[in-house]
């Protein structure tokens, strides 16, 4: 009979641990959700802040989306702008930006992190 009691104890312990595991998994899922929400809010705030700064110099009522994109393409195509960006990035210890062009394609130059 001790084996049965022992088996019952093991089953009981397994059920208890399974319930604890589910609670921990739920708590982890909740924390991950909270983290993603905070990251999303932080990104949204940054985008709004940067967008507001850009709109100060390029008011949306004065420029179409196409003109805005063209102006930014011209600005970020300039070597001195790329150098300023790289200098700022180096000072923060991040990777540099290099200018990438697709042969035969027109449009703004793509800046890529390297």
CA atoms of 43 and 45, how far apart (whole Å)? 5
What's this model's pTM, rounded to 2 decimal places? 0.60
CA atoms of 49 and 54, how far apart (whole Å)? 9
CA atoms of 35 and 5, how far apart (whole Å)? 45
Q: What is the rounded (10 degree) CA torsion for 92, 95, 98, 101?
A: -130
Q: Check residue 92 and give its pLDDT.
A: 84
CA atoms of 114 and 80, how far apart (whole Å)? 18
The HSE-up count of residue 28 (CA atoms within 13 Å, CB side) is 6
**Would you write out the chain's pLDDT as a tens digit for each of its 114 residues?**
456 668 889 999 999 999 999 999 999 999 999 999 999 999 999 999 999 999 999 999 999 999 999 999 999 999 999 999 889 888 887 666 666 555 444 444 445 544
């Amino acid at each position: 009979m001790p084996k049965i009691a022992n088996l019952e104890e093991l089953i009981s312990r397994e059920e208890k641990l399974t319930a604890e595991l589910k609670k921990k998994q739920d708590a982890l899922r909740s924390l991950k959700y909270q983290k993603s929400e905070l990251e999303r809010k932080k990104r949204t705030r940054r985008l709004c802040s940067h967008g507001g700064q850009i709109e100060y110099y390029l008011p949306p009522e004065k420029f179409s989306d196409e003109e805005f994109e063209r102006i930014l393409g011209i600005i970020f195509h300039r070597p001195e702008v790329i150098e300023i960006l790289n200098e700022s990035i180096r000072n923060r210890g991040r990777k540099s930006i290099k200018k990438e062009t697709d042969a035969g394609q027109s449009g703004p130059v793509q800046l890529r992190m390297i």
